[in-house]
Amino acid sequence: MQTIDVIAEILKREGIGVLSCFPTTPVIEAAAAAGIRPIICRQERVGVGIADGYSRLTNGNPVGVFAMQYGPGAENAYAGVATAYSDSTPLLLLPLGHPRDRQGVFPLYSSMSNYVGVTKYIEQINVADRTSEIMRRAFGAIHQGRTGPVMVEIPADVALEEISEESFFWSKNVRKIGSQGDPHDIELAARALCTAKNPIIHAGQGVLLAAATSELVELAELLNIPVMTTLLGKSAFPEVHPLALGSGSGVTSGPVQYFMSIADLVLGIGCSFTKHGMSMNIPSGKTIIHATNDPRDVNKDYDVEYPIVGDAKLVLRQLIEACREIIGSSQIPREDVSREIDSQRNQWLAEWARKLESAEKPINPYRVVWDFMRTIPPQDAVVTHDSGSPRDQIVPFYRSNGPRTYLGWGKSHGLGTGLGLVIGAKLADPTKMCVNFMGDAAFGMTGLDFETAVRSDIPITTVVLNNSTMAVETHAMQTSHDLYRSRDLGGNYAELGLAMGGYAERIDNPNDICGAFERARKMNNEGKSVLLEFITSAETAFSHKKPF
């Protein structure tokens, strides 16, 4: 067996059935021969996004994998890997490397040196007979602690070298190992939680990665505590639940804004509490409990009175048991907050009703989001956004229902990221209607990979909100636009969708929105990829933009 054959066999034994890849590497042929389906994308950044979306839906079991050639292939993939790193997505990257006798020669690109800052772990197979041990370390790094992309570089000459039979071994014994929190830390945090007057739970992606949604729901119901999620953690708590507030990020739902303002204690679980443009600021004066599996996050941006280091699922179970001991059979003396949540949500939605239900032309993008919610049940879908306006318009209002029914992102991402994510999501869960919302600027970055979905029989729905301008740059580019029309964009994206072999519609009447989504779902069920282009206004109003 050659090195690439051993790698393919290891991937197969790890349950990996698809390989996202582009443009050429001998790993593709070896994987195909082993029964692993190659998904050939149109550009490397999207290919990484496909593996990323796949891993998010499977929680890394099996993990998403992307393979690319050395030089330009590795260079083009960098942005996608940086995205996965910022979101702590478990991912395996298999770049080809230059032959060993050419490494270190300028200007040959080195993945080993250039990817250090955007990977959790990186190693090179420098000797063929070390392949098994290096892959074992790679999978160990993928599954342990805070997750992230792991890279194994395969030099082109090593890729085709023979491996001795005695050096090949593999048993699927690399698994996630979680640790509980310190019992003393749990006891202190539980007492603070049970005695707080107006606590709020701030849930992050760690809840999703730990598969801890049921424990989070149990704790919230036990103590009658409202729950908000971060952008990355959106869907970690079912947003149709009576205690759900929605998500808080650079934009925020009304209930999150209100309950965070009155909270005296914030329980952060599975979150980093990073101050960032895509995260919600925690107002001063709050007592903070912070449970994370990465000690680097503790006291990083906020003073934390009750730190807990441990796996989100195990820590939540510890908190539930500790709180039960404290409160016994008594009821926490708090009013039923679900009524107040409903009241705050209804008040907030009433303020936005004019946009959400607008009959104006061009179509208000909030009407597209609202009618989508009315048409497609959230438990039947996996939804994601793109950068800029589509993200800020959908995140506060869309109510997901169950883990990974929404893929939130935004800390370090380029336009066009959502298309790859939703293709990967559909690969991982073909039963769901997988939909990405993007603007016309984002389509210009990665839109040709709609053809990847068509060609590969991965029936997604891509929604293009076409306002023919870079709306969020209105104030930043005023002079250049006045002089040179620098914000203007153009194109008929539905025609492009049809030309690429998909089903496509161009919708300019708000009364046709629901029908378009119904037809899209029908086409997806028939195995056809769909592009819906909505002619929208240049809306720049957002819900509670960067509160506090």
Helix (H, G, I), strand (E, B) or coil at 116: helix
The yes-or-no verdict on residue 291 having pLDDT over 90 is yes
**294 and 199 inside one domain:** yes
Q: Residue 121's domain is classified under what CATH number?
A: 3.40.50.970
Task: Using CB atoms within 10 Å of the CB of residue 143, give its burial: 0 to 12 exposed, 13 to 18 middle, 19+ buried.
Answer: middle
Q: Is the pTM of this model over 0.85?
A: yes
Helix (H, G, I), strand (E, B) or coil at 160: coil
Residue 59 lies in a domain: yes
pLDDT of residue 277: 87
- Using pLDDT thresholds of 50, 70 and 90, give the confidence band for residue 515: very high
- Using pLDDT thresholds of 50, 70 and 90, give the confidence band for residue 547: low
Residue 417 lies in a domain: yes
156: region left, alpha or beta (phi > 0 left; psi from -120 to 50 alpha): alpha
**396 and 281 inside one domain:** no
**325 and 372 inside one domain:** no
Crossing angle of helices 72-86 and 44-58, in 10° steps, is 30
Helix (H, G, I), strand (E, B) or coil at 524: helix
Sheet containing 18-21: give its strands across: 37-40, 18-21, 64-68, 91-97, 149-155, 121-124
- Using pLDDT thresholds of 50, 70 and 90, give the confidence band for residue 39: very high
Can you tell me the mean pLDDT for 282-304? 96
Q: What is the pLDDT of residues 50-91, one digit of tens each?
A: 999 999 999 999 999 999 999 999 999 999 999 999 999 999
Residue 540 lies in a domain: no
Token pair of 109, please? Answer: 């690109």
- Neighbour count for residue 503 (Cβ, 10 Å): 21
Can you tell me the mean pLDDT for 285-293? 97
The yes-or-no verdict on residue 384 having pLDDT over 70 is yes
Stretch among 31-35, 383-387, 412-416, 540-544 having the lowest mean pLDDT: 412-416
Residue type, 17: G
**28 and 153 inside one domain:** yes
Strand partners, 383: 406, 435
Residue 178 lies in a domain: no
Residue 314 lies in a domain: yes
Residue 547 lies in a domain: no
211: nearest Cα among 236, 174, 176: 236
How far is residue 513's CA from residue 264's CA, in Å, rounded to a whole number? 42
Instruction: List the alpha helices (DSSP H) in 197-237.
Output: 205-209, 213-223
pLDDT of residue 336: 81
How far is residue 269's CA from residue 316's CA, in Å, rounded to a whole number? 8
pLDDT of residue 388: 87
Residue at which a domain ends, from 134, 167, 200? 167
Residue 437 lies in a domain: yes
**368 and 450 inside one domain:** yes
**454 and 388 inside one domain:** yes
**444 and 512 inside one domain:** yes
Percent of residues, the chain, with pLDDT higher than 90? 87
Token pair of 86, please? Answer: 């910022």
pLDDT of residue 82: 95
Q: What is the pLDDT of residues 90-103, one digit of tens each?
A: 999 999 999 999 98
* Cα distances (angstroms) measured from residue 299 to each of 191, 289, 318, 461, 537: 21, 11, 22, 41, 43
The yes-or-no verdict on residue 493 having pLDDT over 90 is yes
The yes-or-no verdict on residue 510 having pLDDT over 70 is yes
More confident residue, 547 or 23: 23
- Using pLDDT thresholds of 50, 70 and 90, give the confidence band for residue 331: low
Percent of residues, the chain, with pLDDT higher than 70? 98
Distance from the Cα of residue 159 to its chain's centroid: 32
Residue type, 363: I
130: nearest Cα among 148, 152, 109: 152
Residue at which a domain ends, from 167, 195, 216? 167
Can you tell me the mean pLDDT for 453-482? 92
Q: Residue 307's domain spans which residues?
A: 183-329+336-340
54: nearest Cα among 358, 306, 425, 392: 425
**137 and 67 inside one domain:** yes
Q: Which H/E stretch holds residue 539?
A: none
Residue 542 lies in a domain: no
User: β-strands 64-68, 91-97: how paired?
Assistant: parallel
Give the mean pLDDT of the chain: 94
- Using pLDDT thresholds of 50, 70 and 90, give the confidence band for residue 257: very high
Helix (H, G, I), strand (E, B) or coil at 476: coil
Q: What is the pLDDT of residues 180-196, one digit of tens each?
A: 999 999 999 999 999 99
The yes-or-no verdict on residue 333 having pLDDT over 70 is no
**231 and 295 inside one domain:** yes
Residue at which a domain ends, from 125, 143, 167? 167
Can you tell me the mean pLDDT for 253-274? 96
Q: Residue 216's domain is classified under what CATH number?
A: 3.40.50.1220
Q: What is the pLDDT of residues 229-243, one digit of tens each?
A: 999 999 999 999 999
More confident residue, 38 or 415: 38
Helix (H, G, I), strand (E, B) or coil at 441: helix
Can you tell me the mean pLDDT for 538-544? 91
**195 and 320 inside one domain:** yes
Number of domains in the chain: 3
Task: Judge contact between 156 and 94, C-beta under 8 A.
Answer: no
**193 and 127 inside one domain:** no
**30 and 163 inside one domain:** yes
